[in-house]
Amino acid sequence: MGKVITLFKLLPKLHQMLLCGLVFVTLIIILMPSDDVQASKQTPSASGEYDVNTRYDVPLAFRKPTPPSASLSESNPSQRTHSEPLSQSREPNKKQALAEAADKPEIQKTTAPKLKEKHFQVKSGDTLAAIFERVGLTAKDVYDVTQLPKAKKNLLKIMPGDDLVIAKTPDGKLAQLTYHLDKITTLIVTHNDSGYKEQIVTKKVEARSKFASATIENNFWNAGVNAGLTPNQIMQLATIFGWDIDFALDLRKGDQFAMIFEEEYADGEFLKNGNILAAEFTNQGDRYTAVRYKDGNYYSEEGRSMRKAFLRSPVDFKYVSSSFNPRRLHPVTGQVKAHRGVDYVAAVGTPIKAAGNGRVIKSSYNKYNGNYVFIKHNDTYTTKYLHLTKRKVKTGQSVKQGQIIGTLGSTGRVTGPHLHYEFIVNGVHRNPRTIKLPKSEPIAKKEKAQFATLSKTMMAELEHNKQLQIAAQ
C-alpha cells in the first residue's frame, strides 16, 4: 500500500486528478443497485421492516394484474414449446390487439354549432327587409329567401301580430327562418352549403267533443254565455232551431237546451270550437232535436230536415213593432190601411237575409217603400223586404236562403228604422209569423240506416251527459 502511495505521488498532477476521478466513478457504479433486482412479495412489519421466514398476504390493490394468457403459460410451461421463449409467446397477442385497434375507426365527438335565435312579432310598418336588417342580415338574404315560391307568397305579405323566428350561425349567416302561417301550419326556410330550402309543417288536429247545457232564466243570450258558449255558438244554435222557434218572441223562462259540440286541438293546445254535433231544445214544453250528418246538414233525430223552405224571420230583430193586421190604422196617415206584413225593429245596418232560395224580381227605390227587394221563390211563394238602408242584390239575380240582400234602415215613408217583411202565397198576403212553412226534403233513403245509427248514438250521449250534470248538482 505504501508503494502505491509513493508511486501515486511521483505521477504528474494532471494524472493524479484523472486517476482520482476514475476511482470515484468506479465506486458510484459499484454502490448503485442492480436493475435485475425483483421486488419482494412480502410486506413490511409495523416498524417498516420485513421479518425473516414470515408469510405475508398482499392486498389485491397492490398486485399487478396479469393477462390470462400469460398466467396460463407461466403456470404450465408444457403448453409452450421449449424453443419459444416466454416473451415471444405473448407477441402474437400484442400484434392481434394492435391489428384490432387499427381496424376500429377513430370516434371523434363533434358538437353542432349552437344557433342564435331571435323572435320577432311583426309591428305596423314592418317588412321582411326591415326585420332582416335589424337582425344583421343583408338585402341579398332577403332576395335569396323570397326566390322560394312559398316564402315569396307569404313572407312578402307579413302582417302586424305575425310571429317570425330567425336563427343565425355563430359567424352571422342565416341558418333558419320560421314563420307561423296559422295555429297549425308553419313555413320553415333553411339554409346550408347546398342553398335554400323550404317546407310546410302542419300539426295534427285532434277533435274532442264537449257538452254544454242551460236553463233560460232571463234571456237566451245570457243562458248561452253562462253555459260557456261563445257568441258564434249561440248564434249557430239559434240558426239550427230557427225554423221551428222564434228566438225573439217564442222563448220563455224555464226553456232548456243541451248540446254536444267539437273542440279542435293541436299538440294539446286548444285551437277553436268546431261544429255542433247534436242538440236538443225544449221550448214551451215542445222538444226539438238536431243531429249533424256528414253532408253538413242538420236533421231531427228521426231524420226530418231541420231546414225549412223559408226562414221564420229574415232578420235578427229586437222586437216586432207592428204585426200582420188587415185593419190597422196607418201611423202616418191615420187612416185604416191593411198592414199586410210584419215590422221587425233592429239597429240600422242589421243584415237582412233572403227567406228562401229564389230570383230577385225587383231591386229598386221609391218614396213609399224606400230601398226594397222582391224575391220570387217559385210559382207559389214571393217575399218582399222594404225600407232598407242599402240593397246588396240586383234585379234578375239568383239568391240562396240566408244570403244577405241588404241592411235594415228607415228609407221611404216610415216613423223609425225597421224592416217591413211580407209573405205572399199564390198572390195572397199571409202572416209570416203564423203560416205553416213548407219543409225541405228529409234525409235520403240510402242514408237512413247510417243516419239512424249516428242519431241513436248522439242522442244517447246527450242524455247521458244531462244525467251526469243533474247528478253533480
CATH of residue 394's domain is 2.70.70.10
pLDDT of residue 390: 95
Q: Tell whether 264 is covered by a domain.
A: yes
- Give the rounded percent of residues in the chain with a pLDDT score beyond 90: 40
Q: Does 231 lie in the same domain as 184?
A: no
Residue 61 has pLDDT above 50, yes or no: no
pLDDT of residue 99: 54
Q: Tell whether 174 is covered by a domain.
A: yes
Domain that holds residue 453: 205-308+439-473
Residue 2 CA: distances (Å) to CA of 5, 6, 8, 11: 5, 6, 10, 15
Q: Does 237 lie in the same domain as 192?
A: no
Last residue within a domain, chosen from 202, 222, 244: 202
Q: Does 387 lie in the same domain as 410?
A: yes
d(CA 270, CA 233): 16
Element of type H or E holding 210: strand 205-215
Does pTM top 0.85 for this prediction?
no
Beta bridge partners of 278: 260, 291
Where b means 16+ CB within 10 Å and e means fewer, 368-400 reads ebbbbbbbebeeebbbbbbbbbebbbeeebebe
Judge whether 242 and 437 are in contact, CB under 8 Å: no
pLDDT of residue 73: 43
Last residue within a domain, chosen from 202, 233, 264: 202
Q: What is the mean pLDDT of residues 452-462?
A: 96
Number of domains within the chain:
3
Residue 62 has pLDDT above 80, yes or no: no
| 79 φ, ψ (degrees, to nearest 5) | -80, -5
Distance in Å from the first CA to the final CA of the chain: 128
Residue 42 has pLDDT above 50, yes or no: no
Q: Does 468 lie in the same domain as 401?
A: no
The string of DSSP letters for 137-171 reads: --HHHHHHHTTSHHHHHHHTT--TT-EEEEEE-TT
Last residue within a domain, chosen from 170, 202, 234: 202
pLDDT of residue 467: 93
d(CA 280, CA 212): 11
- Give the rounded percent of residues in the chain with a pLDDT score beyond 70: 77
Q: Tell whether 472 is covered by a domain.
A: yes
pLDDT of residue 57: 56
Judge whether 67 and 93 are in contact, CB under 8 Å: yes
pLDDT confidence bin for 112, thresholds 50/70/90: low
Q: Tell whether 224 is covered by a domain.
A: yes
Q: Tell whether 287 is covered by a domain.
A: yes
Q: Does 176 lie in the same domain as 279?
A: no
d(CA 78, CA 72): 10
d(CA 167, CA 116): 5
The CA-based angle 338-344-349, given to 5 degrees, is: 130
CATH of the domain at 216: 3.10.450.350
Q: Tell whether 28 is covered by a domain.
A: no
Q: What is the pLDDT of residues 262-313, one digit of tens each?
A: 999 988 889 899 999 999 999 999 999 999 999 998 999 999 888 777 888 8
Residues with Cβ within 8 Å of 153's Cβ and at least 6 positions away in sequence, in order, are none
Q: Does 423 lie in the same domain as 323?
A: yes
Q: What is the mean pLDDT of residues 176-192?
A: 90
Q: Does 354 lie in the same domain as 258?
A: no
d(CA 367, CA 349): 20
d(CA 359, CA 72): 107
Short-list 222, 357, 316, 227, CA closest to 279: 227
| Lowest-pLDDT choice from 104-118, 223-237, 423-437, 457-471 | 104-118
Q: Does 323 lie in the same domain as 357?
A: yes
Q: Does 284 lie in the same domain as 263?
A: yes
